[in-house]
A and B are shown apart, each in its own frame.
Chain A
Amino acid sequence: GAVVSQHPSWVICKSGTSVKIECRSLDFQATTMFWYRQFPKQSLMLMATSNEGSKATYEQGVEKDKFLINHASLTLSTLTVTSAHPEDSSFYICSARGTGVLNQPQHFGDGTRLSIL
């Protein structure tokens, strides 16, 4: 089956640093990738949608200058949390959808737990 690899799985860093999270589709080409954030005991919230080769579309309330998304190839998207602060601590999950019709399933990575000290 389709596999999405997300790296790193856990990162702890000091306030003010930037953190990059990678999302790779290992055995399929992902035209579209999605980034979600999940706070403790809450559901996933879509942050942004990225299409290969074009700018990401951000959901309302998500700062595009703080959460930089790059989708440079059909198998890789990255999320960079710039100048991270403790309130950015969360569980970040990416998903990928293959090429073709819109009703294809999305495949999810295992998530990245980000802790900002």
Chain B
Amino acid sequence: KQEVTQIPAALSVPEGENLVLNCSFTDSAIYNLQWFRQDPGKGLTSLLLIQSSQREQTSGRLNASLDKSSGRSTLYIAASQPGDSATYLCAVRGQNFVFGPGTRLSVLP
């Protein structure tokens, strides 16, 4: 059974800092991995999708990497802004779509 964990559970940084969020999964037999953000009480916004054959994806200030063999992915956020404050979820697509518990990010102005 696939298990997904995320570290840290919560993170608070001053504006402008670069930061890294971590995601680990136990079963490397995946089709892809997605990073999402969720604002309080809202649905999900897809940020980046990495296929199992890819190593990384970039979108603006976001860069996500995937090391399938070790079961790890990182989401790098450059020059963080208060608007980046949200919960960040990673999810892996194998037989099912399994979410991690999320990292709650607060970027302080």
Interface residues of A (CB under 8 A from B): 6, 34, 36, 42-46, 49, 59, 91, 93, 95, 102-103, 105-111, 113
Is A108 touching B31 in the complex (CB atoms < 8 A)? no
B71 within 8 A of A: no
Chain A residues whose CB sits within 8 angstroms of the CB of B34 once the complex forms: 105-106
Interface centre among B44, B45, B102, by most chain A C-beta atoms within 10 angstroms, is B44
* Minimal beta-carbon separation of A62 from chain B (angstroms): 13
A103→B96 CA distance, assembly (Å)? 11
Q: A43-B99, A44-B99 are in contact. Are A105 and B46 (CB under 8 A)?
A: yes
A34-B98 Cα distance, complex, nearest whole Å: 12
Cα A106 to Cα B109 with chains together (Å): 33
Residue in B41, B44, B100, B101 whose CB lies within 8 Å of A108: B44
* Interchain CB contact under 8 A, A44 and B31: no
Chain B residues with Cβ below 8 Å from A46 are: 96-98
Known: A46-B97, A111-B42. A103 touches B31 (CB 8 A): yes
In the assembled complex, the Cα of A49 lies from the Cα of B51 at a distance in Å of 21
The 8 closest A-B pairs by CB, nearest first: A110-B43, A103-B31, A111-B43, A108-B44, A43-B101, A44-B99, A43-B99, A105-B49
